[in-house]
Amino acid sequence: MFKKKLPTFLWGVVILFFVVFTMPQGVQGDDQENERAVRDYKFRLSFHVGATYPLNLGTKLEDNTGAEIKGLNGLADSNVHVRFNFDYKLNDRFDLVAFWGFSQFTDDYFTDNHYYTFNFSVNWKLHFTAPSGLKWYWEVGPGYYIPKPNLSFPYPTSTTLGFNVGFGAQIPLGGPFDLEWGVDLHNINFSKKDEPKYWFLTLQLGVLFR
Across all residues in the chain, what is the average pLDDT? 78
CA 134, chain centre distance (Å): 20
In a domain, 122, yes or no: yes
Residue 106 lies in a domain: no
Q: Is residue 29 in some structural domain?
A: no
pTM above 0.95?
A: no
- Are the CB atoms for 97 and 126 separated by under 8 Å? no
Q: Read off the pLDDT of each residue in 59-85 and give the average, rounded to a whole number.
A: 77
Residue 36 lies in a domain: no
Is the pLDDT reported for residue 3 higher than 50?
no
CA 80 to chain centre: 11
Cα gap 33→38, rounded to integer Å: 9
Q: What does the pLDDT look like over 116-159, one tens digit per residue?
A: 899 999 999 999 888 777 889 999 999 999 988 776 666 667 78
Non-local CB neighbours of 32 within 8 Å, separated by 6+ positions: none
DSSP codes joined into one string, 72-120: GGGTEE-EEEEEEEEEEE-SSSEEEEEEEEEEE-EESSSTT---EEEEE
Domains: count for the chain: 1
- 65 inside domain: yes
The pLDDT value given to residue 126:
95
38 has a pLDDT exceeding 70: no
Q: What's the pLDDT at 4?
A: 45
d(CA 194, CA 153): 12
Residue 55 sits at φ, ψ, to 5 deg, of -110, 155
pLDDT of residue 47: 96
Domain interval for residue 57: 2-22+43-96+112-171+189-209
For residues 2 and 165, the model is more confident at 165
| Lowest-pLDDT range of 42-51, 124-133, 159-168 | 124-133
**In this predicted model, which residue has the larger pLDDT, 40 or 34?**
40
Q: Is residue 185 over pLDDT 90? A: yes
Q: In this structure, is residue 90 part of a structural domain? A: yes
Confidence of residue 59 (pLDDT cuts 50, 70, 90): low
Is residue 61 one of the residues assigned to a domain?
yes
Flag whether 102 is in a domain.
no
Cβ atoms of 71 and 55 closer than 8 Å: yes
Q: What's 130's domain CATH number?
A: 2.40.160
Q: Which residue has the higher pLDDT, 55 or 69?
A: 55
Confidence tier at 27 by pLDDT (50, 70, 90): very low
If DSSP codes are grouped into helix, strand and coil, which group holds residue 19?
A: helix
Q: How confident is the model at residue 40 (pLDDT cuts 50, 70, 90)?
A: low
If one counts every other C-beta atom within 10 angstroms of the C-beta of residue 98, the result is: 14
